[in-house]
Amino acid sequence: MDRAYEDRIICNCNKVRYSDIERALREGNNLREIEENFRRVQEITKASTGCGGCHDKVLEVISEILNP
């Protein structure tokens, strides 16, 4: 994957990058449900815990990573 793509900011409030979300998902142990994945990403990265404006972007990234 392109380094610039991995370094793009997904959550402006907490400066969370695509690669941070990917790392958070990889740390999970057999997480299968999207809600669990989303909560895990929030817990680890703090993405989508500020204004919430990146909520849909975070879900898109999770889906992209888990379903290549």
How does residue 36 score in pLDDT terms, banded at 50, 70 and 90? confident
Strands (E), the chain: 9-11, 16-17
Give the angle 30-68-47 at the CA atoms, nearest 5°: 65
Please tell me the predicted confidence (pLDDT) of residue 25: 80
pTM: 0.66
- Going along the chain from its start, the domains and CATH numbers come out as 3-66 (1.10.10.1100)
